[in-house]
Structure 1
Amino acid sequence: MQVDEESMKPVLNRLRRAQGQLAAVIAMVESGGECQDVVTQLAAVSKALDRAGFKIVASGMRQCLSDDSGTPPMTQEELEKLFLTLA
């Protein structure tokens, strides 16, 4: 699936933020951080990744349904499976 660069900028920013949060979680675990703080940051990473995934799917929906690249468009079942993967 090809999505224009302008649509992907917010996704890439969100993924980079999640990457930084994950690095912080790893450092917290390695240094014996407080359990509540680790879980809170881990939940933030998870939410950021989920939102990035939903943004990718939403941005690419038109391409998924009518791709001009010669590949057949995704079926409703394939789209449902894609969404459920993120759920």
Structure 2
Amino acid sequence: MSEESHEHTHDSHPEIIKRLKRAQGHLKSVIAMIEGGRPCLDIAQQLHAVEKAITNAKRTLIQDHLDHCLEDTVGSLGREQRQTMAEFKTITKYL
């Protein structure tokens, strides 16, 4: 993984961090559930919740990046290009 040399933050980052910390806590619970011999159904449900939280954090990060960084890079766009960009942003919801 490469690391950029400058700070790169957006308004959504605190919310993403909050979601990831919540997922981290749930993941610790899942490990404890496995170690404690809890039923597989309970473990699977918790794992699903962790996975969903991480997916939502990733989606938020990508959409925020598109909203800010990509538009800043490409600058002003014509009507047709803006529509293409809007479609591109919309499809990221299915990541």
Deviation by residue 1:38-71 (Cα, 9 ceiling, x = unmatched): 0000000000000000000011113034339xxx
1:60-79 pair list within 5 angstroms: 60-61=65-66, 62-67=68-73
Which structure would you say has the larger Rg?
2
The answer for unaligned runs of 5 or more in structure 1 is 69-75
TM-score, normalisation: structure 1: 0.71
Counterpart Cα distance in 2 of 1:21 and 1:67? 37
What is the identity percentage for the equivalent residue pairs of Structure 1 and Structure 2?
32
Counterpart Cα distance in 1 of 2:35 and 2:70? 41
CA contact under 8 A between 1:3 and 1:60: conserved in structure 2?
no
1:34-49 pair list within 5 angstroms: 34-49=39-54
> Following TM superposition, where does structure 1 have runs of at least 4 consecutive aligned residues deviating by more than 6 angstroms?
none
The residue type equivalent to 1:28 in the other structure is M
Equivalent residue pairs, number: 74
The answer for unaligned runs of 5 or more in structure 2 is 75-84
Counterpart Cα distance in 2 of 1:30 and 1:67? 48
The residue type equivalent to 1:22 in the other structure is L
CA contact under 8 A between 1:15 and 1:48: conserved in structure 2?
yes
Question: Aligned match of 2:9 in 3, 22, 35?
Answer: 3
Residue 25 of structure 1 deviates from its aligned partner by: 0.3
